[in-house]
Amino acid sequence: MVKISLKETPQRRMSDAGESPLEEAEEDEETELEEEYNQYYREVESMQQELKEDDILVPKEPQQEEEQEEEEEEGEEGVEEKGGEGEEQGEGGEVGKEGGEDEAVREETEEKPGAAQEEGAARQEETTVKPPEVTKSMTSSKRLILTDSQSVMSGTSLRTLSESKHALESEHSETNELLRDLSSELRFLDLDQTRSEEQDISFPETQSSSELREKIDQMPQDELGQERREEKRLSSLSDEQEKEFQSKAEIPEKSLVSTSEDILFQKDDSANVYPLTMTWSFGWNSSLPVYYIRDENQRVLLYVCAHTAVIYNVFKNTQHHLQGHPNVISCLCISEDRRWIATADKGPNCLIIIWDSFTGIPVHTIFDSCPEGNGIGAIAITRDAKYLATISDAEIQKVCIWRWTLAVEMPACTLNLPKEYGVQNYLTFNPTNNKELVSNSKTRAIYYLWYEEGNILAHSAPRLTEKTFNKLVGKFSQSVFHLNLTQILSATMEGKLVVWDIHRPPSSASALVGSPHIKPCKLVHLQKEGITVLTTVDSYIVTGDIRGNIKFYDHTLSIVNWYSNFKLSSIRTLSFSKTPAAPPTEKSNYPPDCTLKGDLFIVRNLIIGTSDATVYHLTTDGTKLEKLFVEPKDAICAISCHPYQPLIAIGSFCGMIKVWDYEKKKYLFSRVFEKGLGVQSLTYNPEGALLGAGFTEGTVYILDAMSLENQIPEPFKYSRTSVTHISFSHDSQYMATADVHFTVAVYMVVVKNGHRVWEYLARLRSHRKSIRSLLFGVHLDSNEPRLLSLGRDRLLIEYNLLKSYRDNLEVLDIHRTDQGNYPTCMVWYPPLTKELFLLICNSGYKVKLFNSTTKMCRKTLLGPVFGSPIEQIQILPVKTTLELQKRYMVFINRDKVGLQILPVDGNPHKTSAIICHPSGVAGMAVSRDGCYAFTAGGQDRSVVQWEINLRSWKTIFTILSSVVKVLIQWRPERCRNTFACQSFLLS
């Protein structure tokens, strides 16, 4: 193995004058670095400013270079040389020097004639990263791994990260593997995301590092070493050599997007390099369509959860998440071959992202697609996936057509729509003509014709009234091009179809000479029920209505067949299989159609999405309807994890409680309460036998945790408004609730006729503003439960449970927690010190430690700062006694979930956070073993499971530590201490 020494400091130079081994010198060097750590602690601020103003790796003075060359000549005698071919000696921080390495190259060339030509050819074949691109790739990777910070490190300094990896391989095997992951991540990001810095920042999770690590691990050691040596030699090339190399270098590796195979679910996504990684998403946005993207031997769906598009394999019960949107996804579409997916969102800095469904890679991103508006309201893609069309969600809507395959940032043409057209919410292309589109609002349908030569988008939007056909038309739902391609059909909520004739100008005429237009020619009353879905498949026009019926018509609008006996709720989306229906055989069981001939009704299998958030699969051969999943159709605010089993209970405003096994990702059981009962809060008791449920109209249920059956004869109805908090005491003898009217109610267990029965004890309106936390504790001297409540009125109140009696809840003491800011949440601080504390967060981004007995504020520190104050916190449980002094805290604010290393000390670099629900987080829960955190999204109707990877922080700090060591040794006069460098890198 080749040993690579790091650049030496002047102090280290004197100790190395003798014949001491390299290993002892490195140990002495680490000791000196630890001493410098404490010595220059107070110079952090000045060092940060200096490091930002000047480049870290500036050229050495001539005198220093001469001293270093003399030192290298002296040090060559003391370094053991192992191996024959491919030997090299390098300094950990040297990037721009050529002397030592050029001599080594010349010696090797003299020993082996012709090796230079072979080496150059191998360099062209093996090198996959061009030198100018390394700077950008590494800079973006630094941004992705550290924080969302705005500071940019020079590419040269980050190049030392790759080189310092060799010095750590022989010392720390674990660190070696982690550095290899980072190196692979850098190479990938440089190849696939080099179009803009914003794009690099937006998609940190698009490529799993486990794939690249596996690729490197499978590479023969001689090839791997050769590749690393070539990368190091490239760093020492002169500017002219780099230019020459750029002109000759090629990238022989094929892009993953170039594959024609579906490898999405063949990838191993188990290796996570982030502190919080999305592993599963419960629920789906039933306002958006669900698409059938794979069939035959696999059944794969595409749908949306909040700001993430989910590709779900039904048979394998696995999900792949397309992450990258900063806002909730508002619309999506998919190409005819089911390969290209386009998603768009609404909100600030909105994005349009085109994904490859075979690999899950974002192939193109359109930034600031609607800078003056609120995002995208409708999107469509052509049949051949060549063009993309969008309609903005602004006061003045804008229609844009994008040539996304050319990777351009500006639309090919735009058109502003007048306000009187209404809000256009549906858009589609003509399947046989990429230049024609149709959109509609509730009151107006618009036909578009794109003149590509002049980038002009002509349109026609005739107004319909009751006088047009002397009949009520109704509100438009969806519009499509007729099968004959000369007409457009618009469905209405009155069960009718408006037929429009298309008048196209001659192809030779310009847009000004002959303007295209449409003219209403017929109003067809198809059915009584309102039509919610209108689409075409093969030779059929298909409708779905509010009664759950699915009907098929031919080109003359004569009905061919229908499915009406399934008793479904309102149809929200229909998606047919990509594979045409198989020809009938002897074993086929296709139903006959309703024509006089009675032919077999042969149509593709399809996915049905309904308004009650249920997804079905219909197998037309045999007419088999399978329910794939049922999710809450209303807001989700209540979640709770079982204390001993891998179960999570999810409650929705629609009155549904679902229980999942979050390790097996398996739905277990559920209960739907009567109409009007919306679940607002859920909590398991410490034994895990009971589940307390608070409802939006004030009812409180105590349920059996395994069957969700009532454990009390009648629910408690002592609150008049929504019950926001439920908490059990440590011995399950008391249960307390808090409601919107600032009232705390207490229930207790009594023994009657030999049975334990829950009874109401008392309630008290103890606060003047909303209650933010309701917490049980334990008296240290008597092991009796204690109850505390924290309100937005800045009052911390403790109740005397022992002296309370029926209809009289005694107050023990009242303390004010803040003067100006209001408290947001509280939790029992873990016993990291001899003194026991309550940790309280406030609206001023501060955390305060209060003595648990005296309620005296003992310390005030800066809390997590991620755009909004902390709303809820929980302490991660520990598995062993050895972890009692290594505790972590999970928190949520308005739209993010994060982790913080305890103890709290105000250090912002001990905190990490990620956007979980852009529209707002409603609740949080932590698994029994501390491996997962769950967040409820409220109005986005989803719950996200996050895997907690504490090892990733150790990875980051290990890498940073190695970089800092190199920087300090190379420029001791600039990087005087390790702490200053770490602060700079983390800032």
- pLDDT tens digits, 917-929: 999 999 999 999 9
Per-residue pLDDT, averaged over 764-778, amounts to 95
Structure-block tokens of residue 483: 């099968």
Which segments of 357-513 are extended strands (E)?
361-367, 376-381, 388-392, 398-402, 413-416, 426-430, 433-440, 445-451, 456-460, 476-481, 487-492, 496-503
Amino acid at 336: E
The more confidently predicted of residues 922 and 881 is 922
Per-residue pLDDT, averaged over 680-687, amounts to 96
Per-residue pLDDT, averaged over 908-918, amounts to 92
Residue 741's alpha-carbon distances to 721, 722, 723, 737, 767, in angstroms, are 7, 8, 9, 12, 9
Q: Which helix (H) or strand (E) holds 542?
A: strand 540-545
> Which residue shows structure tokens 């630094």?
142
Q: State the burial class of residue 271 (Cβ atoms within 10 Å of its Cβ: 0-12, 13-18, 19+).
A: middle
Which region, left, alpha or beta, applies to residue 708 given φ > 0 means left and ψ of -120 to 50 means alpha?
Answer: left
CA distance 869 to 841: 8
Can you give the pLDDT at residue 508? 57
Indicate whether 358 pLDDT > 70: yes
Indicate whether 849 pLDDT > 70: yes
CA distance 692 to 402: 52
The more confidently predicted of residues 321 and 258 is 321
Q: State the burial class of residue 49 (Cβ atoms within 10 Å of its Cβ: 0-12, 13-18, 19+).
A: exposed
| Sign of the Cα pseudo-torsion (66, 67, 72, 74, in order) | positive
Structure-block tokens of residue 600: 């077999």
The per-residue pLDDT of the chain, averaged, comes to 78
Q: What angle do CA 554, 559, 564 make, to 5 degrees?
A: 130
Which segments of 146-255 are extended strands (E)?
none
Per-residue pLDDT, averaged over 835-864, amounts to 94
Structure-block tokens of residue 766: 């103890």
CB half-sphere exposure, 316, CA atoms < 13 A: 15
- CB 280 within 8 Å of CB 665: yes
Q: Is the peptide bond before 903 cis (omega within 30 degrees of 0)?
A: yes
- CB 251 within 8 Å of CB 133: no
Per-residue pLDDT, averaged over 30-49, amounts to 47
CA distance 100 to 85: 17
**Residue 945: pLDDT band with limits 50, 70, 90:** very high
Which region, left, alpha or beta, applies to residue 35 given φ > 0 means left and ψ of -120 to 50 means alpha?
Answer: alpha
**Residue 909: pLDDT band with limits 50, 70, 90:** confident
CA distance 358 to 335: 13
Can you give the pLDDT at residue 957? 57
CB atoms within 10 A of CB 560: 18
Which segments of 843-985 are extended strands (E)?
846-851, 857-862, 872-875, 888-892, 896-901, 911-915, 923-926, 932-936, 943-948
Which segments of 140-290 are extended strands (E)?
276-282
Indicate whether 124 pLDDT > 70: no
**Residue 661: pLDDT band with limits 50, 70, 90:** very high
Model pTM?
0.73
Indicate whether 685 pLDDT > 80: yes
- CB 365 within 8 Å of CB 326: no
Indicate whether 307 pLDDT > 70: yes
In whole angstroms, what separates CA 51 from the centre of its chain? 33
Indicate whether 936 pLDDT > 90: yes
Does residue 624 sit in helix, strand or coil?
A: strand
Can you give the pLDDT at residue 245? 40
Structure-block tokens of residue 405: 């395959």
Structure-block tokens of residue 588: 């086929």
Q: Which residues of 794-811 are buried (b: 16+ CB within 10 A; e: fewer)?
A: bbbbbbebeebeeeebee
Per-residue pLDDT, averaged over 849-856, amounts to 94
Tallying the residues shown for the chain, one arrives at: 987
Structure-block tokens of residue 894: 């308005």
CA distance 529 to 519: 25
Closest CA to 355 of 274, 291, 426: 291
Indicate whether 972 pLDDT > 50: yes
**Contacts for 798 with CB less than 8 Å, ≥ 6 apart:** 786, 787, 788, 811, 812, 813, 814, 855
Closest CA to 813 of 799, 793, 794: 799
The more confidently predicted of residues 344 and 244 is 344
Residues 625-654: pLDDT tens digits? 999 999 999 999 999 999 999 999 999 999
Q: What angle do CA 690, 694, 695 make, to 5 degrees?
A: 135
User: What radius of gyration do the chain's Cα atoms show?
Assistant: 33
Q: What angle do CA 105, 111, 112 make, to 5 degrees?
A: 90
Indicate whether 103 pLDDT > 50: no
| Sign of the Cα pseudo-torsion (127, 133, 135, 136, in order) | negative
- What are phi and psi for residue 66, nearest 5 degrees? -65, -45
| Sign of the Cα pseudo-torsion (177, 181, 186, 190, in order) | positive
Edge-to-edge strand list for the sheet holding 656-661:
636-641, 647-652, 656-661, 666-672
Specify the DSSP class assigned to residue 184. Answer: H
Q: Which helix (H) or strand (E) holds 227?
A: helix 221-235
Residues 145-191: pLDDT tens digits? 333 333 333 333 333 334 444 443 444 444 444 445 444 443 443 43
Structure-block tokens of residue 711: 């454990």
The more confidently predicted of residues 33 and 730 is 730
DSSP string, 341-368: EEEEEBSTT-EEEEEETTTTEEEEEEES
Can you give the pLDDT at residue 101? 42
- CB 521 within 8 Å of CB 499: yes
Enumerate the β-bridge partners of residue 309.
304, 322
> Which residue shows structure tokens 């398991």?
684
Specify the DSSP class assigned to residue 590. Answer: P
Enumerate the β-bridge partners of residue 329.
345
Can you give the pLDDT at residue 141? 38
DSSP string, 687-717: TSSEEEEEETTS-EEEEETTT--BSSSS-B-
Structure-block tokens of residue 490: 């618009």
Q: Kindly state the greatest CA–CA separation across the chain.
A: 105
CA distance 327 to 317: 27
Residue 455's alpha-carbon distances to 370, 412, 415, 436, in angstroms, are 19, 6, 10, 13
Residues 471-510: pLDDT tens digits? 899 999 999 999 988 899 999 999 999 999 999 877 655 5
CA distance 600 to 561: 10
Amino acid at 316: K
Residue 779's alpha-carbon distances to 410, 788, 836, in angstroms, are 66, 12, 11
Residues 528-580: pLDDT tens digits? 999 999 999 999 999 999 999 999 999 999 999 999 999 999 999 999 999 88
Can you give the pLDDT at residue 52? 44
CA distance 21 to 613: 69
Can you give the pLDDT at residue 801? 94
Can you give the pLDDT at residue 167? 40
Per-residue pLDDT, averaged over 356-383, amounts to 89
Can you give the pLDDT at residue 969? 66
Q: Distance between the two ends of the chain, CA-based, in angstroms?
A: 37
- CB 901 within 8 Å of CB 953: yes
Can you give the pLDDT at residue 954? 60
CA distance 774 to 681: 12
**Residue 79: pLDDT band with limits 50, 70, 90:** very low
Residues 579-612: pLDDT tens digits? 888 888 888 889 888 888 888 999 999 999 999 9
